[in-house]
Chain A
């Protein structure tokens, strides 16, 4: 994997590193960080999140803060979604594009107040996005990269709110949070900000707290949730969970060679909102029509599609590429995402995945592969 990080630089560690090691996690390099890929096993952790509640350390992600009267305008100009629609305490998913209309990063933008905004970016893109927002803020608003003192813990699963109910007096307030709403609160005696967001397809919250407070928050939640089936979960399960929910992974499904429209992220591109970086290019893409689309597919033959495998038509010609693929533990099938020509992107269309020279049957299916019922 080339993620733009100096492979010779020492790996960074989150505030929870020692707790991960103690819990027997397998720690691997990820975007310049040493992160837990699994504790007990990916499938086990995947089911923990689908059936009970799992904790993820995602402190490696970047937190960028913009303050001042013009902060909202700066944010809105850099992202494709319409940040002007947000109210205090509301967040939204969006892309940030370059002038060519391809994706610099996918982000969640939070409006704490009209003059206080938070942008959460991918760990692999933090240096790039920190520079983009810093540059745009010059002469307009204050900018601070808060990544180094901000920890982030995701609490995900159908029993997440049962766990939160045990962890403090603001349980009712948290349970009343709407999707993509957030509030300052106290969980397990730790001052934090909780947002009803996630990357798993399950209900839950993502909690920002001070770096130094993360171990207390983490340990207490695990302790309080033990009989609920709460367990720590690694990046491996995070990947299978997000794939089943068809959530894009930057660097796999989207990057600076893909635009949000072909990636199925047109719903976060608001061409009519006013000018923003990449608007003209995306307008042109829309006028011209899409040449390819990111589709979800099921491998119907025997094989597992993986990132980078070629996709071929029935005649064997290379027509696209798999961007993500793995067994889906909940859906019980081998699933994937990949780019196919727009003319081949309709549900039911069959094609082949080139699994190391072996052509395996696959078919375009509706996504998400998994949708929670409650």
Chain B
């Protein structure tokens, strides 16, 4: 059982990314549970630039902690609008503030209908509890 914070106003994926939805745009980061599993983040590499297309299931970057390397996935298909360049020099922001300063990309969804496929906070909590065992 994890007591990692899961804000009620965000949406989630089974890969432990969060999305803040504003219109057809999603700000994306990794969840507190993911951060807890990773430990100290040492390197965030976002391999896409603004304007690039992303699709779910294909990594758009990697995040390294002392322990392991994890891939970053887009929650929905779309176009990258903005990349958080500050993580290059300050990967620890992901540990400090994963739902705020530690955001990674902003994506413009290709199809707003895809947003309905994201998990709500309760569904994500259930997923975390299941994967924490």
Least CB distance from B69 to A in Å reads 6
| Structural contact, B39 and A302, CB atoms closer than 8 A | no
Q: Is A368 an interface residue (CB 8 A)?
A: no
| Structural contact, B67 and A236, CB atoms closer than 8 A | yes
Chain B 63-104, CB within 8 Å of chain A: the 1/0 string?
Answer: 011111101000000000000000000000000000000000
Interface size class of B (residues with CB under 8 A): 10 to 19
Q: Look across to chain A and name the residue whose beta carbon is closest to the beta carbon of B36.
A: A26
What secondary structure prevails in chain A residues at the interface with B? Answer: mixed
Least CB distance from A30 to B in Å reads 13
Which of A302, A306, A327, A358 counts the most chain B CB atoms within 10 A? A327
B residues in contact with A127, CB < 8 Å: none
Q: Is A42 an interface residue (CB 8 A)?
A: yes
8 Å CB interface, A197-235 against B: none
| Structural contact, A306 and B66, CB atoms closer than 8 A | no
Q: Which of B9-17, B21-29, B40-48, B105-113 contacts A (4 or more CB under 8 A)?
A: B40-48
A residues in contact with B69, CB < 8 Å: 304, 306, 355-356
Q: Look across to chain A and name the residue whose beta carbon is closest to the beta carbon of B42.
A: A327
| Structural contact, A356 and B39, CB atoms closer than 8 A | no
Q: Is A43 an interface residue (CB 8 A)?
A: yes
| Structural contact, A303 and B43, CB atoms closer than 8 A | yes
Chain B 53-68, CB within 8 Å of chain A: the 1/0 string?
Answer: 0000001001011111
B residues in contact with A356, CB < 8 Å: 59, 62, 69, 71
CA distance A195 to B59 in the complex (A): 48
| Structural contact, B45 and A236, CB atoms closer than 8 A | no
Q: Is A240 an interface residue (CB 8 A)?
A: yes
A residues in contact with B40, CB < 8 Å: 41-43
Least CB distance from A14 to B in Å reads 21
Select which of B62, B66, B68, B71 is within 8 A of A43 by beta carbon: B66
| Structural contact, B62 and A327, CB atoms closer than 8 A | no
If A302-B45, A303-B45, A304-B69 touch, does A327 touch B39 (CB 8 Å cutoff)? no
CA distance A46 to B40 in the complex (A): 12
CA distance A130 to B39 in the complex (A): 36
Select which of A38, A303, A304 is within 8 A of B39 by beta carbon: A38
Q: Is A125 an interface residue (CB 8 A)?
A: no
CA distance A138 to B39 in the complex (A): 48
Least CB distance from B36 to A in Å reads 9
Q: Is A251 an interface residue (CB 8 A)?
A: no
| Structural contact, A41 and B64, CB atoms closer than 8 A | no
If A43-B39, A302-B43, A304-B42 touch, does A236 touch B66 (CB 8 Å cutoff)? yes
CA distance A358 to B59 in the complex (A): 12
| Structural contact, A326 and B43, CB atoms closer than 8 A | no
What are 30 sample pairs from A and B whose C-beta atoms fall under 8 A apart? A37-B67, A38-B39, A41-B39, A41-B40, A42-B39, A42-B65, A42-B66, A43-B39, A43-B66, A236-B39, A236-B66, A240-B66, A302-B45, A303-B43, A303-B64, A304-B42, A304-B43, A304-B64, A306-B69, A326-B67, A327-B42, A327-B43, A327-B64, A327-B66, A334-B42, A355-B69, A356-B59, A356-B62, A356-B69, A358-B47
Beyond A43-B40, A356-B69, A358-B47, 5 additional contacts (C-beta under 8 Å) are: A37-B67, A42-B65, A43-B66, A46-B66, A304-B69
8 nearest A-B pairs in the assembled complex, by CB-CB distance: A304-B64, A327-B42, A43-B40, A42-B66, A327-B66, A42-B39, A41-B39, A236-B67
